[in-house]
Amino acid sequence: MDAFALLVGGILPYLTVVVFLVGMGYRFRAWFKAPQPGKMTLFPAPDSTAGGVLAETLFFPSLFKGDKVLWSFAWIFHATLALVFLGHIRVFTGLVDRILMAVGMSADNIGVMSATAGGVAGVVLLGTGLLLLIRRLTIQRVREISRVPDFFALLLLIAIIGTGDLMRFGPHFDLEQTRVWARSLLAFSPDVPRNGLFLVHALFAMLLIIYVPFSKILHFGGIFFTQTLVKRS
Amino acid sequence: MAQDTAHVGAGPATKRPEVVRAKESPVVDPEQVIRAITAIDGGPRVLKLYMEMCARCGTCASQCPVYYGKAEKKYNPVERSDLIRDIYKKHCTTTGKLLGALVGARDYRDGELEAWAEHFYTCTGCRRCATYCPMGIDNSVIARKGRAILEAAGMTPDTMQKVVRISLETGNTDGASPEAFKAAIEFLEEEMKEEHGVDIKIPVDVVGADYFYVPPSGDVLVNPEATTGVAKVFYALGLQDRWTMSSHYFDGANYGLFTGNDADMKADNKPYVEEAKRLGCKVLFMGECGHAYRIMKMMMEPARWWGDLPFTIMNCMEFTAEQIKAGKLQFDKSKNPQPVTYHDPCNFGRSCDIVEEPRIILKASCQDFREMYPNRGENWCCGGGGGLSAMDDIHEFRMTVSGVKKMEQVRATGAKYVAAACSNCKRQLAQLMEYYKEDIAVGGVHDMLSRSILINGKAAKRVDYT
Ligand code: HEM
Ligand code: SF4
Ligand code: SF4
């Protein structure tokens, strides 16, 4: 096993999990601990019942009122991102396939469905990711406040999506490899796929996950705290 | 009486006092600034989150009246908030400590408070950014933190400092004595006598009255029609001797909110609560002043600054609107034939949700009420919020930057009278009309009511209000 594969496929995954969990735990704890002397009520008050916060999380209504163009980029981007996350369950376990087969789908049909849904999602995600980047570069009020971390987050994301799409649309990639890899990781005896493109994709993805607790990508955590502070008194 | 005060109102030629700047800036201890910023790490929670989760998406800039007026980097809300955020990053975040400038983190630079004094007083505190930010970030809270740091370093702009000092010394931001106040009240009673031929009282210092009316002092001393309006409402309801004002505490304005000095804000607030207790009122009856009502209703009461209160807090517009809805007040709308629009003061709209009440009053008392768009919680700031309205040294900024959007909004309505339930908004609006040579009058909400309400079946005699 060459060093790169071992590093990316055998060591980094464990590091990623540890750093992510510890980092997130640390951040959330700090947020919980910080006292909030009063509410910050803002009218028309976003509804900060559980349902209201959920609506804000799922549909970004404040952003919709504020900037419809960004809303459409961001919403499609996030929705597709969520889809792709779900899709990755299939990448790592055969469980989804077995369930689908149990309800009567053939292996071929599953393949076609996944190729179509995954392919479309991959292209849309890449497209909206690029749009967010272009927006950042071309709109003055966004450009003037953009810095290295803002570009880094987007570029890393685009790199992950790009390499993912290359695997999807390039030479056939057998998912059995990743499933074996996932199982072997859980058994603490990593069996790393040798596909170079895959290793690069996985490397970028893990870097992003490691980066999340330390960056503004954690915005999805904080939003629960800010939204619950603006409730009606 | 009006000169040299924070509340010079809708009158024509507004005087512009000389700007006095401290010649030598106080010596600032950098450690003190850094300590104030690193303290955010421990809360309040919102401020900590604001330091850590801005997506830098630029939505706030597109919704900010200041950036709208002039799309310069220094007016971008994120850029202003970064003044504090970057130093916070340097000291309190992992990436900032490890990567420094690469992630925008930096340390406090000696002497930079000088520039802060300008920047943090270019945010009007309108909270419009917070309404649209996908993360709910309220840049005005960060700006207020910046102002608090300036205040602790003795670098609050003189115009602001002066207002707070006068208010703490005399109980009102105009620095008027109880005698001057009583004289003004007598004058108003005489006016109402002329208008209606009956004695409409403005009771003063009546212990045991139900309603203790606390307007901004400008509504007695500068644009008193709002106060005569309130007096007429009580008269028409037969509650003439159930309300009172205080000859010592007749100004809800509280500039501690604007300088970021919580101690001053509370010190300015406490005498009003004590006076309300002394008078034994049942209702602390706040006037047409957005930030005064916000401090009482949204801050002091829920946070229990002074414990349990033996009275409730209500705004005069809520009261009047209720009476109108109940059909207890009658009007002669023909007294107000000109097109009238309403400017939602940010502190009443976004911060307190008092939006329908002023409309009910204006629609009842005017023939041609017109909405301004957008309105209510989404209304644009007049450009003088956050205390800026009182700062004559930034008059040019308020006219050509922060007030630009408001001027466009008002023009688009075609109105000849803009009502605003706030002395600060009224001052800024009146200056805008003067600056842009618009023939549009500016005043309060009860002002319109005062001109058209029927007392014993008749509206006020005076017809010409120009
Ligand atoms: C809860 C509601 C959420 C809101 C309102 C929201 C909003 C946004 C916005 C406005 C952007 C665009 C930033 C730009 O202009 O570059 C963005 C980017 C991004 N979001 Fe979200 N988001 C939410 C939840 C999430 C969740 C659950 C994830 C999943 C991990 C996520 C991951 C990302 C990533 C990876 C980016 C691109 C990198 C970046 O610019 O930070 N977001 N989000
Ligand atoms: S709208 Fe909110 S998240 Fe976006 S740049 Fe402004 S403060 Fe940051
Ligand atoms: S509070 Fe108002 S003036 Fe200040 S940054 Fe936000 S939108 Fe701009």
Q: Taking a C-beta distance cutoff of 8 angstroms, is the pair B371, B341 a contact?
A: yes
Question: Does residue B214 sit in helix, strand or coil?
Answer: strand
At residue A115, the pLDDT reads 87
CATH topology of domain B171-325: Rossmann fold (3.40.50)
Q: What gap in Å lies between CA B245 and CA B351, rounded to an integer?
A: 26
Cβ of B240 less than 6 Å from ligand 2? no
CA A218 to ligand 1 centroid distance, Å? 8
Instruction: With a cut of 50, say whether residue B175 has pLDDT above it.
Output: yes
**What's the rounded mean pLDDT across residues A40-47?**
76
Average the pLDDT over each of A227-231, B107-111, B315-319, B389-393 and give the range with the smallest value: A227-231
Indicate the top mutation candidate among B133, B138, B139, B142 to test ligand 2's pocket, ranked by most ligand atoms within 8 A of CB: B133
- Mind listing the pLDDT tens digit for each residue in A94-116? 888 899 999 888 888 988 888 89
- Mind listing the pLDDT tens digit for each residue in B291-336? 999 999 999 999 999 999 999 999 999 999 999 999 999 999 999 9
Contact pairs from chain A to chain B, CB under 8 Å: 158
Question: Between chains, do A66 and B59 touch, taking CB under 8 Å as contact?
Answer: yes
CA A229 to ligand 2 centroid distance, Å? 17
**What's the rounded mean pLDDT across residues B372-401?**
96
Sort out which chain B residues have CB atoms less than 8 A from A139's CB and list them. Answer: 58
Average the pLDDT over each of A161-170, B24-33, B92-101, B454-463 and give the range with the smallest value: B24-33
* Closest partner CB to B52 (pick from A65, A66, A222): A222
Instruction: With a cut of 70, say whether residue B1 has pLDDT above it.
Output: no
* Closest partner CB to B299 (pick from A35, A38, A223): A38
At residue A45, the pLDDT reads 66
Question: Between chains, do A140 and B71 touch, taking CB under 8 Å as contact?
Answer: yes
Question: Between chains, do B93 and A35 touch, taking CB under 8 Å as contact?
Answer: no
CA B405 to ligand 2 centroid distance, Å? 21
At residue B25, the pLDDT reads 59
At residue B136, the pLDDT reads 86
- Mind listing the pLDDT tens digit for each residue in B35-64? 999 999 998 988 999 999 899 999 999 999
Q: What is the DSSP string of B311-339?
A: SEEEEHHHHHHHHHHTT---B-GGG--SE
Query: Which distant-in-sequence residues (6+ apart) come within 8 Å of A188 by Cβ?
Result: none
Question: Does residue B202 sit in helix, strand or coil?
Answer: coil
Question: Between chains, do A148 and B43 touch, taking CB under 8 Å as contact?
Answer: no
Could you state, in order of their start, the residue ranges of all structural domains in chain B?
A: 30-156, 171-325, 333-452
**What's the rounded mean pLDDT across residues B347-352?**
96
Query: Which distant-in-sequence residues (6+ apart) come within 8 Å of B255 by Cβ?
Result: B6, B160, B163, B164, B167, B173, B264, B268, B387, B390
Q: Which CATH class is domain A3-232?
A: mainly alpha
- Mind listing the pLDDT tens digit for each residue in B146-162? 999 999 999 999 989 98
CA B464 to ligand 3 centroid distance, Å? 38
Q: CA nearest B41 in A: which residue?
A: A34
Quickly state the pLDDT bin for A52 (edges 50, 70, 90): confident
| Interface check A48 vs B, CB under 8 A | no
What count of other Cβ atoms lies within 10 Å of the Cβ of residue A102? 8
Q: Which CATH class is domain B333-452?
A: alpha beta
Sort out which chain A residues have CB atoms less than 8 A from B131's CB and list them. Answer: 42, 62, 65-66
- Mind listing the pLDDT tens digit for each residue in B244-297? 999 999 999 999 999 999 999 999 999 999 999 999 999 999 999 999 999 999
CATH topology of domain B30-156: Fumarate Reductase Iron-sulfur Protein; Chain B, domain 2 (1.10.1060)
Instruction: With a cut of 70, say whether residue A65 has pLDDT above it.
Output: yes
Instruction: With a cut of 50, say whether residue B15 has pLDDT above it.
Output: no
The strand pairing partners of B331, in sequence order, are: B453
- Mind listing the pLDDT tens digit for each residue in B60-81? 999 999 999 999 999 999 999 9
**What's the rounded mean pLDDT across residues A32-55?**
79
Q: Taking a C-beta distance cutoff of 8 angstroms, is the pair B416, B328 a contact?
A: no
What is the percentage of chain A residues whose pLDDT exceeds 70? 93
User: What element of type H or E holds B227?
Assistant: helix B225-236
At residue B2, the pLDDT reads 34
Could you state, in order of their start, the residue ranges of all structural domains in chain A?
A: 3-232
Q: Which residue has the tokens 């404040």?
A: A62
Q: Taking a C-beta distance cutoff of 8 angstroms, is the pair A213, B95 a contact?
A: no
Average the pLDDT over each of A202-206, B104-108, B460-464 and give the range with the smallest value: B460-464
Domains B30-156 and B333-452 share a fold: no
At residue A230, the pLDDT reads 62
Residue B457 carries which DSSP code? T
Q: Name residues 69-98 of chain B within 8 A of A (Cβ).
A: 71, 73, 76, 78-79, 82, 93-95
Instruction: With a cut of 80, say whether residue B22 has pLDDT above it.
Output: no
Cα atoms found within 13 Å of the Cα of residue B114, Cβ hemisphere only: 11
Q: Name residues 105-164 of chain B within 8 A of A (Cβ).
A: 127, 130-138, 141
ipTM over 0.85: yes
Average the pLDDT over each of B12-26, B234-248, B367-381, B382-396 and give the range with the smallest value: B12-26
**Strand ranges of the sheet holding B211-214, from the earlier edge strand across to the other edge:** B243-244, B211-214, B283-286, B312-315
- Residue with more model confidence, A51 or B1: A51
Report chain B's mean pLDDT, rounded to a whole number: 92
A56, A67, A71, A212, best to mutate vs chain B, most B CBs in 10 Å: A67
Instruction: Please measure the distance between the N-terminal and C-terminal CA atoms of chain B and give it in whole angstroms.
Output: 20
CA A63 to ligand 2 centroid distance, Å? 10
Quickly state the pLDDT bin for A57 (edges 50, 70, 90): confident
- Residue with more model confidence, A57 or B21: A57
Which residue type does A138 have? T
Ligand 3 residue neighbourhood (C-beta within 6 Å): B 64-66, 77, 123-129, 139-140, 143, 381
Sort out which chain B residues have CB atoms less than 8 A from A223's CB and list them. Answer: 53, 134-136
**Strand ranges of the sheet holding B417-420, from the earlier edge strand across to the other edge:** B368-370, B339-343, B417-420, B441-443
Which residue type does B233 have? V
At residue A39, the pLDDT reads 78
Q: What gap in Å lies between CA B215 and CA B2, rounded to an integer?
A: 16
Instruction: With a cut of 70, say whether residue B399 has pLDDT above it.
Output: yes
Closest-lying ligand to the alpha carbon of A71? Answer: 1
**What's the rounded mean pLDDT across residues B434-462?**
95
What count of other Cβ atoms lies within 10 Å of the Cβ of residue A39? 19
At residue A42, the pLDDT reads 86
A70, A138, A216, A233, best to mutate vs chain B, most B CBs in 10 Å: A216
pTM listed for this prediction: 0.92
Cβ of B400 less than 6 Å from ligand 2? no
Q: In 3D, which of B287, B276, B255, B288 has the Cα closest to residue B387?
A: B255
**What's the rounded mean pLDDT across residues A170-198?**
92
Cβ of B131 less than 6 Å from ligand 2? no
Q: Name residues 219-248 of chain B within 8 A of A (Cβ).
A: none
Question: Between chains, do A141 and B76 touch, taking CB under 8 Å as contact?
Answer: yes
